Amino acid sequence: MNASADVAVIIPTLRRPDSLERAVRSVLAQAGVTDRLREIVVADNDPQASSRELTARLAAEASLPLVWRHAPRPGVATARNEGLAATTAPLIAFLDDDEAASPGWLAALISAQAATGADAVFGPIRGRVPDGTGWTTPYLERFFGREGPVHSQLIDIPHGCGNSLLVRATALPGAAPFNTAADQSGGEDDVLFAALASRGGRFGWAADAWVDEFAPPHRATLGYALTRAFAYGQGPSQTAAAARDWPSVARWMVIGAVQAGVWSLAAAGLTLIASPQRADMLDRSARGLGKLFWMKGFEPHFYGARELDRLNRQST
């Protein structure tokens, strides 16, 4: 192994063979980092180990190690932890299995991390949705996308793990840094990055590290996006509650109540004139409600057993 190969790319996956192949091939096509990329790790979260043969076929074609790791207990945090266990690389890049990286993606992440000294670096995402989403298309493309500064720099607020580069020693402490309590609902990266911020960690932005995220049909709906927006809104209140910072919990709940009320009224008015912008107002309202209703019992589930049940129903 090349001594300078210090980056591993981890791709968690759950029974998405076509999009997984697209994601892996996009990493194999990376330019300018052949000496830095140590391995690609596919963390298969399907109890049936459905990606084993596909990974073996792609590994036979690859010019660098392609490692398959089985995480049979469905859950997004479990899959990420299992992927980490398969590599000792000091720099860890995460790419979701519904994403495809541009050829300069990894080089841009590495360059931005070196320039900023950040513990976690994030890149922009172009949201792609199927045909037929009608008036919600612009909103959904923004929802599944990610924007940031024009230039690479330090930033104050972290993003999600999809399209990120993390310094293992500082951003990923311990053998299993992702909290498996978030296996079904997601948000494992919110908890991780909140803890990193509390330790004085720094976040960076890689302006040229583009990926495309392809929303599957069952997710490319207004209902799904608003449910996810509600879950995103829960994040600040849940993070404060986990730290037993009850004044902050109360503050976030008040903010959420105001946001839900104001943006719901705005959405109602825009609905009367059939404005597409009503989707954005509904999104903001849902995020406000999430801050207000952050408790257990209100958490929507998107991953793990819920997604596996959906896939099983789809195959019957």
Give the tens place of pLDDT for each residue, 81-103.
Answer: 999 999 999 999 999 999 999 99
Contact 129, 176 (CB under 8 A): no
Containing structural domain, residue 94: 7-214
My answer on whether 263 and 307 are in the same domain is yes
Query: Does residue 2 lie in a domain region?
Result: no
Between CA 44 and CA 184 the distance in angstroms is: 16
Between CA 4 and CA 15 the distance in angstroms is: 33
Question: Which of the listed residues 214, 241, 259 is the one where a domain comes to its end?
Answer: 214
pLDDT at 188 over 90: no
My answer on whether 83 and 185 are in the same domain is yes
My answer on whether 248 and 207 are in the same domain is no
Please tell me the predicted confidence (pLDDT) of residue 307.
79
Interhelix angle 76-85/188-198, nearest 10 degrees: 60
Between CA 145 and CA 140 the distance in angstroms is: 8
Using pLDDT thresholds of 50, 70 and 90, give the confidence band for residue 65.
very high
Please tell me the predicted confidence (pLDDT) of residue 34.
83
My answer on whether 19 and 162 are in the same domain is yes
Please tell me the predicted confidence (pLDDT) of residue 309.
79
pLDDT at 186 over 90: no
Query: Does residue 41 lie in a domain region?
Result: yes
Strand order in the sheet with 153-155: 66-70, 37-44, 7-13, 91-94, 164-167, 120-122, 203-205, 153-155
Residues 22-39 have pLDDT tens digits of: 999 999 999 888 899 999
My answer on whether 155 and 32 are in the same domain is yes
My answer on whether 188 and 236 are in the same domain is no
My answer on whether 188 and 159 are in the same domain is yes
My answer on whether 106 and 250 are in the same domain is no
Both structure tokens of 35: 């000496």
Between CA 193 and CA 35 the distance in angstroms is: 29
Residues 108-151 have pLDDT tens digits of: 999 999 999 999 999 999 999 999 999 999 999 999 999 999 99
Query: Does residue 1 lie in a domain region?
Result: no
Query: Does residue 309 lie in a domain region?
Result: yes
Please tell me the predicted confidence (pLDDT) of residue 316.
67
My answer on whether 82 and 157 are in the same domain is yes
pTM: 0.92
My answer on whether 19 and 122 are in the same domain is yes
Query: Does residue 278 lie in a domain region?
Result: yes
Query: Does residue 190 lie in a domain region?
Result: yes
My answer on whether 24 and 139 are in the same domain is yes
Mean pLDDT to the nearest integer, 213-234: 95
Using pLDDT thresholds of 50, 70 and 90, give the confidence band for residue 234.
very high
Question: Which of the listed residues 177, 195, 214 is the one where a domain comes to its end?
Answer: 214
Please tell me the predicted confidence (pLDDT) of residue 1.
58
Question: Which of the listed residues 214, 236, 252 is the one where a domain comes to its end?
Answer: 214
Residues 257-299 have pLDDT tens digits of: 999 999 999 999 999 999 999 999 999 999 999 999 999 889 8
Domain count, the chain: 2
Please tell me the predicted confidence (pLDDT) of residue 308.
77
Mean pLDDT to the nearest integer, 42-56: 96
Contact 126, 177 (CB under 8 A): no
CATH number of the domain that 206 lies in? Answer: 3.90.550.10
My answer on whether 182 and 226 are in the same domain is no
